[in-house]
Amino acid sequence: MAGTAWDIGRTSVAAEWGNINSAYNDTRYSVSHTISFPAVYARQNVLMKAEWQAAEIQVKGREKELVKQVSQTYCAMNTLMQKRRLLEYADSVYEEFYKKAELRYNLGASDILEKATAENQRGQIYLQLQQLEADIIALQLRFAYLLQTDNIFVPQDDLLKLPVPVVRAEPANNHPDVQYLLQQQKMATAQLRLEKIKLLPEITGGYYNQSYSGWQKVDNIERFYTQNDRFGSGLIGISVPISVFSQTARLKALSLNRAATEMSYKDGQQAFALRYRQTLTEYRKNVAAVAYYEGKGLANADDVLNAARDKYLHGDINYMEYAMLINQAVAIKSGYYDALKELNQTITELNYLSNK
């Protein structure tokens, strides 16, 4: 599109035949063209280059947004896979618990409450697994959509923890989201400058060639001319706008548009900086949460699981206490996966905002 800025329009070619000058039939041929001042084409070129650059920036922005969405979707799938493994472990624990409760009930060592509680716990785990499977399938479909493929991907089994991002005090100004707003401002300025220069007159040039059939007196000598005798002439002129009210109104509208794009750019810069600082705050919060789980929380959960199993097998705690402790340990591990998911999401967002 940038090359069309130098389009000078179409040349007009015409032909006439008939009683142009006398009762005799004559022919007349003409060719003419109207062009603007070269400065108009130059400013059109500036505008179209600005529009082309805006399109390129927009494409880059969409590419980075796609990379972010792919990364976040993959991390979310990986987290759900870890949660599924945790629920499968909890299911095996409650299965063992249920078998022992059923045996105790059949032997008359416990009442129906213990057996029903164990069965309810397994049922809840089963429902959570079903919901989790549906969530995983939904994410797999979204992941395939983002990659524009019909293949269904399964994330790696290992727990995914993204590398620590490069943290800055303020975001980079070269992000496509900010650059696009700046380019919109440049486009508005270029459009305004183009409309201003369009007030200049246009130049018209042409050439005419025609016949004058009949008698003509040339140098006091009568001579008969036919259609084979040709006469040529040239034309040059300018066209100026008689009324400038419509153009003045357009210039005023374009001036307001340029002012609006300037405000949008400044507001966009501030909003982008705020978004970066908020994401950075969330990142630090999630780092602290993951550090707690990895430092103490997960170890405490394993200790609770092991101690609860031993105490229940030795009869030191009842089934209600045992179920409560198991649920507590599973909730801690599940909380760790949730915290890790949030950490990965904020890392991805920081990388995106840092134009990585």
pLDDT in tens, 276-329: 999 999 999 999 999 999 999 999 998 988 888 888 778 788 777 878 888 899
pLDDT at 261 over 80: yes
pLDDT at 5 over 80: no
Question: Regarding predicted confidence, which is higher, 172 or 44?
Answer: 44
The reported pLDDT for the residue numbered 174 is 84
Query: The sheet that has 26-35: what strands, in order across it?
Result: 12-18, 26-35, 202-211, 230-239
pTM of the model: 0.77
pLDDT at 101 over 80: no
pLDDT in tens, 20-57: 777 778 788 888 888 888 888 888 888 889 989 999 99
The reported pLDDT for the residue numbered 169 is 67
- Taking the C-alpha atoms of residue 340 and residue 346, their distance in angstroms, rounded to an integer, is 10
pLDDT over 90, % of the chain: 36
Q: In 3D, which of 118, 10, 89, 154 has the Cα closest to residue 337?
A: 89
Question: Regarding predicted confidence, which is higher, 262 or 224?
Answer: 262
The reported pLDDT for the residue numbered 349 is 92
Q: In 3D, which of 158, 75, 128 has the Cα closest to residue 339?
A: 75
The reported pLDDT for the residue numbered 136 is 93
The reported pLDDT for the residue numbered 110 is 62
Q: In 3D, which of 237, 181, 190 has the Cα closest to residue 5?
A: 190
- Taking the C-alpha atoms of residue 326 and residue 312, their distance in angstroms, rounded to an integer, is 11
The reported pLDDT for the residue numbered 283 is 94
As a whole number, mean pLDDT of residues 151-158 equals: 81
- Contact partners, residue 259, CB within 8 Å, separation at least 6: none
227 pLDDT tier (thresholds 50, 70, 90): confident
pLDDT over 70, % of the chain: 95
- Taking the C-alpha atoms of residue 80 and residue 86, their distance in angstroms, rounded to an integer, is 10
Q: In 3D, which of 42, 17, 15 has the Cα closest to residue 31?
A: 15
pLDDT at 226 over 60: yes
Output phi, psi for 186, to 5 deg.
-65, -40
181 pLDDT tier (thresholds 50, 70, 90): very high
The reported pLDDT for the residue numbered 249 is 83
Contact criterion met (CB below 8 Å) for 344 and 286: no
Sequence ranges of the domains in the chain: 9-35+203-239, 36-201+240-353
Looking at domain 36-201+240-353, its CATH architecture is Up-down Bundle (1.20)
Mean predicted lDDT score pLDDT of the chain: 85
